[in-house]
Every structure is written in structure tokens, then in C-alpha cells.
Structure 1
Amino acid sequence: MSSQRVSYDIFLNFQGKDTGKNFTDHLCANLVRKRFNVFKGEKELERGTPVSPEITKGAIEKSRISIVIFSKSYASSTRCLEELVRIVECMKTKGQVAIPIFYDVEPSVPRRQKGGFQEAFTKYEEMLEKTENVQMWRNALEEMANLSGFNLQEYRDESELIKAVVEEISCELSGQLPFINFKKLLAGVNSCLEKVQIQANTIKVQWRESTMAPPLMFPFFFFVRCFRITPNKGSLRSLQSRFNGVNPQWPHL
């Protein structure tokens, strides 16, 4: 993250109705136990301190890492969506690290706004006059859900997931290189492949021996072109945040 005054190590973005009193509360407690300074809006409310949008926006900007916890009714909270837009902005302009957690929802649900997300956005489009805000929320959801993160369904239980998240946060904030989680790496690749599949459905690919690369070389060219990996200082998560908004392309063979 670019040099600036930092007030918090971690900002938690979550829907209180779904996870505020269970998963998010337990995650926050474990992070605080590691002596991390965590901004969890509902904790301020419990103390009787009103949390205005300005305070929340400032907390996001002054945090090193933002954790976005996607849950079934996440999109029903305009507060969550407004915070998410600011988190994505900070990720792009300030180099802030953002980590999505998919709690009881598959990554494709927020990414494509399916299920409860689709229902919430249908209501927004009917009720709100400023549809540009709705589009900003949609874009932010897609960009965040495209990042590799943590999926509850890939862990035995919540405690195992929390342990994994805390370990990665510890590595990120200490500057250590974490052990590569190939499940999360593949999640990012699958997201990229989904975009490629959509593109492929709109074009006709003509296979000619003269233009085809050897079968074993094609995946290599695809991966490099898709992710455009370049060496950079910092953690894997910081590097991964640079891939946000990647527009995969077929390799020019």
C-alpha cells in the first residue's frame, strides 16, 4: 500500500445480519488476539458511537487490508455495497490489499449477481433513481469476486477457515511470503477461464495447422497472456491485487 497515515491494519466489510454475531465476530476476535487493529463497524455501534459514512470511508482509506465477507444477503445492504465500491477504489489507487471470503455462497453468485444478489439488484433498479450507483455496485461486486480468496466450502469448518485467513493476514502484514494455496490460485484461473469462454462463444475459431502452436505450449501462452505476470516486490496477495479487472485474451499465435 502506498505510504500514508494508517490507522487500522484491517477493515471488515460484512453483512451483520448474516455473519455479524458469529463468523465475523470470531474472525475479528482472532485477529485482535494477534494484536491487529481491526475496524468492525458494528463494534463501534455497540459502544454507542455513531458510524457515519464519512467515518467508514476514512477507515477504509486508512487500513492496510480490507476483508470482504460475501454472504447470502450481502447485496441487500447498501452500506456493504457503498463500502465495497470504496474498497475497490483504494485497491486500484492506493495499492490496498483486498481479500474476499465467500461465506455460504459460491464466488460465481456475487460475480454474476445470481440468487439473492439478483433479487436485491432488481429491487434497487426499480426503487432508485440513480441507476449509475447500481452499476457501480455491480462492477465492484464483479471485480472483488474475481479475486482469489477463501471459500468456506473448501474447509472442514469455520474455525479452520478463520485460522487460514489469520495466517495469511499475518504473512501479509509482516511481509513474509505465504505458502501458496493452489485451491485459491485455481479459483483465480477459473474466473479467468469463465471470461475466455464467454469470449469464445461470440467468435468462430478457425483451427489451421499453420497457426496452431504445439498442444503443450498453448496453456503456457494462455496463462502468460491472461495474467501478464511480472516480477514485483511485495507479497503474493499484493501482486494478485494487480490482476484485478484483467481482461483475458486469446494468445496471438
Structure 2
Amino acid sequence: MAEQTQPSSSVSSFGSSKFDVFFSYKWADTGNNFTSFLYSGLEKGGINVFRDSEKLWLGDAIGPAIESAIQGSKIWIPIFSSGYADSQWCLWELVQIVQHHRSNGQLILPLFCHVNPYDVQHQTGNRFEKAFQEHEKKFEPNTVTSWRDALEFVGNLKGEVLDETK
């Protein structure tokens, strides 16, 4: 895991956090463009960001390392893109984020990158709806329900909508 750093002055402290910010995103959609630029800007500003492609070490067990990073972060930024709901990892992360938010109150700052918050909240729109049709065939109903609940909760939060005009 990454070395523990002192909390940034620009982010309030929640106990013994390892990271100021945790990104949850679909690499194929935003990882090599928007998320990379956001990551670089925050890191240059002294904000310690967990992004799996940068902070996981070879040989780390992915699930426990990500769960530890989620638990050890002050702010979570899910970056919703058209393919976000295709990824069981993204959905699993989101469930973890919502669970920790409900118990500890840390801030969730959703970014809707070329997707409508309504489609996230209600799993509508072409990609979200199709993703859940596939998930319902492959996964237990309680797992799919937990994913839907997390998307509904976070999709209902005030977030930044990024579209072609921004």
C-alpha cells in the first residue's frame, strides 16, 4: 500500500485516514483521460488520492486492498460513466462506499461523466439498463439489489454533471 501521509489542509480529517480521496471509476471509460487529469491535478495540489492503477502494488490482493483504501479515505468520488454499471468491481466499490458513508458520514462527491444522474439513480438508459439485465442473469438477487440500492442512493446526491459543453 501507499505510504501514509499527513492530512491535506484542504480536506477535513476523519480520524486516521490514509487517503484524502478515493476514486471509483471504470478504467476503459475515463481512466486514461478525465480521471488521469483529475488525479494529476489533485496530487499536484497536495491531495493524496487513491486510484487503483497508481496505489496497488504487484501481489496485493485486490479486494482487501481496495476495501482498506475505501475505509481509509476521507472523501469518495465515484466517476459515473456509460460503462460504470458494467463493472462488478465498480458496483462492489460503490456498495462499500455507501456502507461506510452511512456509518461514518464521510463525503461522497459524485461526478456524472457523460451520463444522466437519473439513469444512475434508476438504472435506466441504454447501458445501465442492459448492464443490470446481464447482472440479474449472473448474480444472486441480493447482490444485484445492493448494487441497485447503492446507485440509487449516490445517484440522488448532488453531484457535478460533465457533458460535452463542459
Give the TM-score, by structure 1 length.
0.58
The percentage of counterpart residues that share the same residue type is 35
| Alignment match of 1:124 (pick from 128, 131, 135) | 135
Aligned position for 2:144: 134
Q: CA deviation at 1:121?
A: 0.8
Q: Which runs of 5+ in 2 are unaligned?
A: 1-11
Amino acid at match of 2:17: V
* In structure 1, distance between residues paired with 2:80 and 2:55: 21
Over the aligned positions, Cα root-mean-square deviation in angstroms equals: 1.7
Q: Paired residue for 2:108?
A: 98
Distance in 2 (alpha carbons) for counterparts of 1:89 and 1:147 = 15
**1:71 — aligned with what?**
81
Q: Which residue of 1 aligns with 2:23?
A: 12
4+ long deviations beyond 6 Å: none
Distance 2:143 2:13 in 1: 27
1:145 shift after superposition: 0.5
Distance 1:147 1:26 in 2: 23
Q: Does 1:39 align with 2:50?
A: yes
TM-score, normalised by the number of residues in structure 2: 0.87
Point out where structure 1 has 5 or more consecutive residues left out of the alignment: 158-253
SS of match in other structure, 1:148? coil
Q: Return the structure number with greater strand share.
A: 2
Contact 2:13 2:74 in 1 (8 A): no
* Distance change (3 Å), C-alpha of 1:2 and 1:43: closer
Count of matched residue pairs: 154
Residue pair 2:76, 2:107 contacting (<8 A) in 1 also: yes
Is 2:14–2:106's contact at 8 Å kept on the other side of the alignment?
no
1:26-50 CA distances to partner (integer Å, 9 max, x unpaired)?
Answer: 00000001011100002235x6454
2:119 to 105, 109, 112: 109
More RCO (CA 8 Å, sep 6+):
2
Partner of 1:214: none
Which AA in structure 1 matches 2:158?
S
Q: Which residue of 1 aligns with 2:34?
A: 23
CA distance in structure 1 between the aligned counterparts of 2:17 and 2:95, rounded to whole angstroms: 20
Asked if the contact 1:44–1:50 (Cα under 8 Å) also holds between the matched residues in 2, the reply is no
Structure of higher CA gyration radius: 1
Give the superposition deviation at 1:127: 1.6
For residue 124 of structure 1, report the CA deviation from its aligned partner: 1.0
Hey, what's the Cα distance between the residues in 2 that align with 1:3 and 1:116? 35
